[in-house]
Structure 1
């Protein structure tokens, strides 16, 4: 299950991201409305947590554009606006649910589960390429010979590779998508996690490999 969080308050965003990761969700964070639309256009997300008061483009405008464009992604509005009229406007614009700040973490997780429940029953939770399968619910990477549970960061990297097979993904893109634009993590952490994944693919006797391309990034390809 992959979630996009659009929240411009950085401290709150980090807290929610940590909460999502602890509950085994894969998530990306953005900090303004234009960035949210760009990510939704390029990425494959199962749900959107959307703040209303954001720079560049407010949350309602983001929601309106999504619905007008035919995007039916489940949307949970998360905002400090608590007036009934604000809730009605958000729901009438196309939100699936509305949660006001401050909120309890159990309630947030319950609302996410409720909002995405129909998605999980209708959409497969597995990605397959070559002889390996990635279960997006359990973080389990498997082959006909064995299986292994990936850590959260390993899972996010493998998911990105498997959603874009044979496409070259730069180290910078891994860093931005998984650790965030404002992260102070150095680029070599990407190489470390790719090394972990290569070892696990070898242990699984996978017929795919993470191939490096000089100055161009990495791609998941079927072994020759």
Structure 2
């Protein structure tokens, strides 16, 4: 999961970013509201954590602009204003949740997980495809109860695909997600990781299919199916 964190307090922002990264999430930290309005920025993220008290362009203005542009990603507001009117204003402007500072990091993480589940129409932190089960809370993939070991990049790619079973995930989206680990991550790198997972998953009853010119889709393999590098 990739999270946009907009927080002008450097120490707080760094602390939150590190806590989220320990969960295996990728975090982009911005300190100004104006930067959060950069064209093309928002399509890269699954969630946003937005401080209301930003310098220059404040968080409420950023939120309203995002929603006016039709951006639907879940947004959790951080605010030092423990006033009912401020909380109501934020929710009415399009926020999905809020936390009042100071807050506990474990609560922030729990709320973000809940927002992600709600956005995906899930009621638990597990994604299931055939005999494969992906535990999002513990970052573990299992097959019939046996753990399947994955590298961090393999896990992130598996999560992207299993969140959209049967639907195409574009190469551009995969590059955007995994490039936070490598500045030179490319479409060729995507093909390498897809090839690795494909060879492992086909033995587990799951196929990763290439949709030429678009990207990849994961689904249960048909009986006797073998999906090769170009399948």
Bin of the TM-score, shorter chain as denominator length? 0.5 to 0.7
TM-fit CA distance, 1:137: 1.1
Q: How does 1:144-223 map to 2 (within 5 A)?
A: 144=144, 146-180=146-180, 184-187=183-186, 188-202=188-202, 205-223=203-221
Q: Unaligned 5+ residue runs, structure 1?
A: 101-106
Large movers: runs of 4+ above 6 Å? 11-15, 85-88, 117-120
TM-fit CA distance, 1:136: 0.6
TM-score, scaled relative to structure 1: 0.63
Q: 1:152 to 1:73 in 2, by over 3 A?
A: same
**2:36–2:62 CA contact under 8 A, matched in 1:** no
Q: Which has the higher helix share?
A: 1
Q: 1:98 to 1:165 in 2, by over 3 A?
A: same
**1:6–1:36 CA contact under 8 A, matched in 2:** no
Q: Which residue of 1 aligns with 2:124?
A: 124
1:3-40: per-residue Cα shift (whole Å, max 9, x none)?
Answer: 6324388x99788555422233x346485247676567
1:29-52: per-residue Cα shift (whole Å, max 9, x none)?
Answer: 485247676567xxxx5x631144
Find out whether 1:135 has 2:131 as its counterpart: no
Q: Which residue of 2 aligns with 1:32?
A: 36
TM-score, scaled relative to structure 2: 0.62
> What is the RMSD of the two structures over their aligned residues, measured on CA atoms?
4.4
Q: Which residue of 2 aligns with 1:4?
A: 3
Q: Unaligned 5+ residue runs, structure 2?
A: 30-34, 92-96, 226-231
Q: Which residue of 2 aligns with 1:109?
A: 105
| Number of equivalences | 200
